Amino acid sequence: MNVDLIFKIAAIGIIISVLNQVLVRSGREDQAMLTTLTGLIVVLSMVLNQVKELFVTIKYLFEL
């Protein structure tokens, strides 16, 4: 597992939380929820790509 992935996820989390707080304080709760969902989808897609690579690696190891 690459440490850069953890830093990317943490950076996305910080950015999304700041955006969420700014939008909530300005009275735009709907947009705050959408930004949170977008951040969640981005992070989940990053994690799913890593899980896919893990399964490919495991499949390759058992084919040998």
For 30, the token pair is 């709907």
pTM for this predicted structure: 0.81
Which value, to the nearest 10 degrees, does the dihedral of the CA atoms of residues 27, 31, 49, 11 take? -30
Asked whether the beta carbons of 46 and 38 are under 8 A apart, the reply is no
User: What residue ranges do the domains of the chain occupy?
Assistant: 3-63
Looking only at Cα atoms, what is the longest distance across the chain? 58
Q: What percent of the chain has pLDDT over 90?
A: 91
Q: What's the pLDDT score for residue 56?
A: 94
> What integer best gives the mean pLDDT of the chain?
93
Say yes or no to pLDDT of 25 above 70: yes
